Structure 1
Amino acid sequence: MAVAVAGLSPVAAAWAKDPAGTVSTPVTTAHGAGTTSLGSGPVIAVDHRQRPVVATTSGPRLALLRYTKKGRLDKTFSGDGIARLKVKKNLAVSDIAFDYRGRIVVVGASNASSGERARLIVLRLTKKGKPDKGFGRRGVVTVDHASGTAVTIEPSGRLVVSGRSTMPSAALVARLDGAGRLDPGFGDHGVARLSVYGAQEGPYVGTGAGETVIDAAGRVVVELRVFRGIGQPSETGVARFTSGGALDTSFGDVGGYTSDTLGLPVTGALSRGLAARPHGGYTVSGATHGQFFLQRYDADGLPDGAPLLTDVTSGFLEGGDAMAVDAAGRVVSVGQSYPRLTVLRYASEDGLDAGFASNGVYRAKKLKGTRSAGATDVAIDARGRIWVAGVATAKGSRSDRVVITRLKQNGRPDRKWRTRGRH
């Protein structure tokens, strides 16, 4: 796996015109080249020094961007703040995290939309954005006939990776040791699977695993994403595996539930997040029919009340794409209410937080020269600040910018996070 450093193109960057609290960065396919459309991501994590690292794909390469605390690209990272890694063709990234040593872990898939040819990819990089040769094969672990969605890192350094298997069709949870080897003590040679519809599923239609939570007993609770085909409503749910990777039949209905099997009043739901509730149980977030939604589950995996549905505008292109929970247990859901990047915070599990932004909702200003923007990921740092990663698309072209917005705890843009002038 080769690494190439990419610089920023001088084309219409105009970062000084970004609104307070927001930094936008055009990503180039090669040093000195023009901007391009982003293939996946961006996803974001914040390190112990409060520096955000963002992963996205641009053309045939994975791009990693690291910023300073004040919003400039960090030139101590790969020379100019952007590292590019040529890993696999058609790579799509879906999650990023730091391990206990500050190394960067990125999860995604190559050929994710190609059914049986899909390959789950896990990369581990050094703090400087270079492949970690002590992990897998030159920093890369692959699982054939699968795609990756999320990663959770245990205090011991083991990685729990979730996604979807295409052969057989099923939700997939894999556990890797610190060297990137599949853990033989988990599931079937390191991999656990769950298929909601069994033999009815195929390589393109079936059950997938989203975000995961590891409880105090080492059990893995996973968000389920069930796709039943074109024209059919998707489903959302939760399941739990034991610490050894067996389906925990004491949880929910023989291990899990979906919105369809329960008859919940949420149809066509696209779930995009899972978090533990402060007093036990779990919350799933996402989008359904042009609304943000939250669904609560108790500690036994049973639905706890009706779904909470939120309309920000009257538009249909609206919903959550990622979520996080702050130290006070408040849920932050990010996504889009077209054409603007949108953040919601819930004061409790019963409604929006009136003390956050404008009655619980932050809608970003449009960036100059763009036609739309949406949030793709969110992280909350040790100070309670909210970091939102997203994509802004330029008017009249397919060129995209990575957008990073930092909000204070009260939901107002953090004016200390702003680039003044070019890098």
Structure 2
Amino acid sequence: MRDTVCSRRVAGALTAVALATVLLLSVSRASAFSGQPDVTFGQGGGARLGFPGGFNSAKAAALQADGRIVVAGTGKNGGWAAGPLMLARYNADGSTDTSFGDGGVAWHYSDADSTFEARAVSIQADGRIVVIGNATNGDIFNFETRLFVARFEANGAPDPTFGSGGIVYPALWGSYFWGRALLVQADGRFVIAGSAGYSSTHLAIARLNSNGTPDPTFDGSGYNVAPVMDRSGAVAVGILNGKYVITGVGYEVNYDSAIVVAQFNDNGTPNTAFGGDGVVTTWVGSEAVGVALAFQTSTTQPTKIIVAGEANNGTNRSQFVVLRYLPDGSLDTTFDSDGYAVIGVSAFDSGANAVRVLYTGGIATRIVASGYSQASYGQETKQFATVKLNLGGSLDATFDGDGIARTSLGIAGATPNAMWVSGGRVTLIGTASGTADGLDVAMARYLYTDGSLDTAFDGDGVRVDDRGLSASWARDVAVQADGGIVAVGHSSHGGAHGFTAVRFLPDGTLDASFDGDGRLELDFGSYENEVAAVLVEPDGRIVLGGYGVSTDGGGSAFGFLLMRRMPDGSADATFGTNGAVIAKDLIGGKATALLRQPDGKLVAAGWLADPYYYCFAAARFEADGQIDTTFGPNGTGFWWIRNSSSVISEPAAALQPDGCVILAGDNGSSFENQDVYLVRLTPDGIADPTFGYNGNVSTSIGSGAAVARGVAVRPDGRIVVAGWTETGAVTKAFVIRYLSDGSVDPAFGVDGHVIVDLGEPSSASAAMALELQSDGGIVIAGDGAQDGNTDFAIARLTPAGALDTSFGNAGQTLFDFADSGEDKAVALALDAQGNAILAGSSLGNFAVARILIDPVASAVPGTAPGIAGLFLSAPSPNPTSRGAALALELKAGTRTSASVYDVSGRVVRRLFGDRALEAGRHTLAWDGRDDAGRQVAAGVYYVRLATPGGDETRKVVVVR
């Protein structure tokens, strides 16, 4: 080893380090879960969230038994861009239920090229959530749409026992069947109403088995169509006296339309006792559409059918219409004298989307219909509208003075798509349009006695909630001492980027103590700014680095930007100006890495741009944000070197124990001829002349480009670098090791480096981050491909550079957030347990995953020895204030059940009854509530898993 300025400081420790390394390597690393996703984190090991700013429409909603509201819809980044299925849950008072999904919302991506439009949602008796709708694949000029059925666990995670990843595409009418309404039967079968056909569509109904396959006992094929006009479709479904009732619209040749109601027997054939052939067509003015369905029951009269929708009565444009039918399909002339009432809700346009019958003491008293009221052209004039009718069809004037309640939701026009009546309240759920970000979830709640807004609901009776998705990326991640995870990056609004930080609790849920909801978004005026690096200081303060815009001198230019936030997310007033510093001498650059010295000083590394080249740069700041003038040549506080690169390099950085700083990136005149490029600075901030050539090293790997993205320093002074290199037609991950003087270490891999296939060998992969473990093991993270899709990738190498085959699948693990699409990890951190935290993006959204590395399971003291072929992890988090999850691995399939008990042995929550679980990994999730949906009191509880081979029990401590 050459005697160098920086290597001399660590030479004395080499003997002790070598001995420690030998001892650590003798320890076995075998673990059943090493390299597997930590299913107690987020959903199946990953947490993904979008930031407000995209389009999100609420198309359907359902009310849980505990009063919580489940909303289903679609989220988009705007335009025709592919968007996921959106599920959100709200508490009974309108507040966000943060125990659901990621901070109250769950996104289900099943196809990166498809937009999932939810049309109906229902809650099964076991708490699982069923959504049906239509998935559109392609663009506006060339697309196809098909029916989907998706089922989710009560926490918003896809139900792994249903279809593929929780979703099924039923083969009905050659996939030319589209769903608009859903009924979940007590036996678990699904009844769907919609339209079917190729050249023309028909009013259609289908019945599926509980696994989503067509039920052949229903007209032989699982579906049937009504004998009505060729161009027709159903939008509502119900069951009456064992018969299925659907309603919708039928079009004539002249494009006029009528309301259609059809009835089918249990075997799928039309009920000819209804209307003579199973269908009733009602012309109400012109352009009539049936949208909603209800039944008016009575102990003294036959049940009547209520249909609501819209029709043009010739005086105005479309208006509310409510019809009442007798059981045989004839109009009930005791209702508004002719069987239907057209209600002039607006002088322009209006229409009903939902209808319910109100009962007092089991006796029907009123009919409530909800929909929209539009005052003129333009979405912004749309309002929520609710109509209350007497049973005879006249308006009930005790309701808001004239029988009609109208509500504007801020600047946004709004249309409700779902409504229910419960507890003396009428709740409307729909979509607000005209907001700054396009479409948002909109809700309103009224007292059904007088039509006034219920101020107990979100404070004023209404809520507009942006659950959309702006394009966002996580760029770096850090782990706090308490296990909290801070991920930082940027989100895009209108094409401009803004600083974004998120903090997760150890279980993967958002930490509401951080800026109120777990998310922090910052921008500097109207200028673009980004964050690319983060570190957490010992006192919990959070430092972010990136670039921002300085307007000094009258113009504007971007440069190194550092911010420090308090643990709660607020600005640290003791740092710079209002918690931020823009390095004036580093204008035209960006900080891409942050280091904290033991004395509290901060080193920011990144790049600068001069008129011809991009340059490596570094600066050091005092603890208060001032430039440290003892760093850099001539006391400038910063250093830079022109590395003759015409390509932006975003260097990684590492701090040696002696204070020397390593920067690792790339240089080259083009993307095709980049080389790994390292620089070492002395503690004074000048190039270390004893490192390589004048402080820098350039290394080629093979004949293609090579780019470094991660760097770490071993205790013995050797430097480990990871990145990607071109090998033929694709890129591959690499790891290279240097001696402390900058020369390549020939004892590592082949010629000092190893090429790592992350994922499929024939596909591209890249290492974007690197961490060293205490035993010398090397962990790299990036992306790799499986089944044609790009996924998060992680690999563990031994200190000598070989893949550690005890980790994951032959040394590596790929984590898929979506069934199809692009997931890329760009950052990596190790938590206190040694587990890996990966951060990056998934289909344009923040994504974080936790991968287990040698976990140690903790059984409850006094429980029986472990059951052969079964592993049940300790609960996480534990203690908990909101619930816990446990990882379950089965070597073979078995029947099992799971319940939560209190200390007296009383069952407080049945997680699931007797259920067949397949071999593999599963999650047991408890939300901290009892069977009635109430939060349990603080105390000790036990989660018990029962199998034919015995029981496993784990203790959970609940704190309030």
Shorter chain as denominator, the TM-score bin is: 0.7 to 0.9
Could you tell me how far apart the structure 1 residues matched to 2:220 and 2:384 are?
41
Matches within 5 A, 1:356-375: 356-367=399-410, 370-375=411-416
Q: Deviations over 1:362-385 (max 9, x none)?
A: 111441xx242221211223x242
The code of the aligned residue for 2:186 comes to: P
Task: Choose the corresponding residue for 2:347, options 314, 317, 332.
Answer: 314
Paired residues of 1:297 and 1:303 also in contact (CA < 8 A): yes
SS of equivalent residue, structure 2 residue 126: coil
2:251 aligned residue: 227
Deviates more, 1:333-342 or 1:322-331: 322-331
Paired residues of 2:287 and 2:311 also in contact (CA < 8 A): yes
Percent identity between matched residues is 26
Could you tell me how far apart the structure 2 residues matched to 1:186 and 1:139 are?
24
Could you tell me how far apart the structure 2 residues matched to 1:394 and 1:166 are?
34
SS of equivalent residue, structure 2 residue 169: strand
Paired residues of 2:179 and 2:195 also in contact (CA < 8 A): yes
The code of the aligned residue for 1:67 comes to: Y
1:267 aligned residue: 286
| Structure-2 change in CA distance of 1:348 and 1:191 (3 Å) | same
In the superposition, the TM-score normalised over structure 1's length comes to 0.83
Matched, 1:155 2:186: yes
Per the TM alignment, residue 105 of structure 1 is displaced from its structure 2 partner at its CA by 1.1
Task: Choose the corresponding residue for 1:347, options 355, 366, 390.
Answer: 390
| Structure-2 change in CA distance of 1:417 and 1:335 (3 Å) | same
Deviates more, 1:111-120 or 1:357-366: 111-120
Return the index of the structure with the highest Cα Rg.
2
Task: Choose the corresponding residue for 1:413, options 453, 462, 470.
Answer: 453
2:226 aligned residue: 194
SS of equivalent residue, structure 1 residue 327: strand
Matched, 1:333 2:369: yes
Paired residues of 2:58 and 2:440 also in contact (CA < 8 A): no
Q: Deviations over 1:112-146 (max 9, x none)?
A: 99999331111111111111122233322223111
Per the TM alignment, residue 76 of structure 1 is displaced from its structure 2 partner at its CA by 0.7
Could you tell me how far apart the structure 2 residues matched to 1:53 and 1:319 are?
24
Could you tell me how far apart the structure 2 residues matched to 1:227 and 1:298 are?
24
Task: Choose the corresponding residue for 1:240, options 263, 267, 270.
Answer: 263
Could you tell me how far apart the structure 1 residues matched to 2:439 and 2:128 are?
28
1:21 aligned residue: none
The code of the aligned residue for 2:217 comes to: G
Could you tell me how far apart the structure 2 residues matched to 1:42 and 1:3 are?
29
Could you tell me how far apart the structure 1 residues matched to 2:252 and 2:110 are?
31
Q: Deviations over 1:4-25 (max 9, x none)?
A: 8565xxxxxxxxxxxxxxxxxx
| Structure-2 change in CA distance of 1:41 and 1:418 (3 Å) | closer
Matches within 5 A, 1:178-217: 178-197=210-229, 201=230, 206-216=231-241
| Structure-2 change in CA distance of 1:6 and 1:147 (3 Å) | same
Paired residues of 2:307 and 2:323 also in contact (CA < 8 A): yes
2:442 aligned residue: 403
Task: Choose the corresponding residue for 1:90, options 115, 132, 155.
Answer: 115
The code of the aligned residue for 2:239 comes to: I
SS of equivalent residue, structure 1 residue 351: coil
Could you tell me how far apart the structure 1 residues matched to 2:244 and 2:141 are?
28
1:291 aligned residue: 319
| Structure-2 change in CA distance of 1:172 and 1:114 (3 Å) | farther
Q: Deviations over 1:216-255 (max 9, x none)?
A: 3x211111321347x6112212111111111111211311
| Structure-2 change in CA distance of 1:419 and 1:78 (3 Å) | farther
Task: Choose the corresponding residue for 2:135, options 92, 104, 110.
Answer: 110
Matched, 1:377 2:418: yes
SS of equivalent residue, structure 1 residue 185: coil
2:55 aligned residue: 37
Alpha carbon RMSD of aligned pairs, Å?
2.6
Could you tell me how far apart the structure 1 residues matched to 2:326 and 2:267 are?
22
**Higher RCO structure (Cα 8 Å, ≥6 apart):** 1
Task: Choose the corresponding residue for 2:86, options 63, 71, 76.
Answer: 63
Paired residues of 2:227 and 2:279 also in contact (CA < 8 A): no
Paired residues of 2:262 and 2:278 also in contact (CA < 8 A): yes
1:23 aligned residue: none
SS of equivalent residue, structure 1 residue 135: coil
| Structure-2 change in CA distance of 1:337 and 1:5 (3 Å) | farther
Could you tell me how far apart the structure 2 residues matched to 1:169 and 1:92 are?
19
SS of equivalent residue, structure 2 residue 86: strand
SS of equivalent residue, structure 1 residue 312: coil
Q: Deviations over 1:12-49 (max 9, x none)?
A: xxxxxxxxxxxxxxxxxx2x3x41233x5331111011
Matched, 1:145 2:176: yes
SS of equivalent residue, structure 1 residue 295: strand
1:127 aligned residue: 154
Q: Deviations over 1:294-344 (max 9, x none)?
A: 1111101112232200002212x2111222333354322111112221111
| Structure-2 change in CA distance of 1:269 and 1:398 (3 Å) | farther
Count of aligned positions? 380
| Structure-2 change in CA distance of 1:5 and 1:298 (3 Å) | farther
Q: Deviations over 1:146-177 (max 9, x none)?
A: 11110112222221111111247322211122
Moved over 4 A (4+): 1-7, 112-116, 419-423
SS of equivalent residue, structure 1 residue 268: strand
Paired residues of 2:85 and 2:115 also in contact (CA < 8 A): no
Could you tell me how far apart the structure 2 residues matched to 1:320 and 1:4 are?
41
Could you tell me how far apart the structure 2 residues matched to 1:214 and 1:72 are?
33
Paired residues of 1:347 and 1:354 also in contact (CA < 8 A): no
Per the TM alignment, residue 388 of structure 1 is displaced from its structure 2 partner at its CA by 0.3
Per the TM alignment, residue 359 of structure 1 is displaced from its structure 2 partner at its CA by 2.5
The code of the aligned residue for 1:91 comes to: F
| Structure-2 change in CA distance of 1:57 and 1:419 (3 Å) | farther
Task: Choose the corresponding residue for 1:177, options 209, 231, 235.
Answer: 209
Deviates more, 1:51-60 or 1:112-121: 112-121
Could you tell me how far apart the structure 1 residues matched to 2:156 and 2:355 are?
26
In the superposition, the TM-score normalised over structure 2's length comes to 0.38
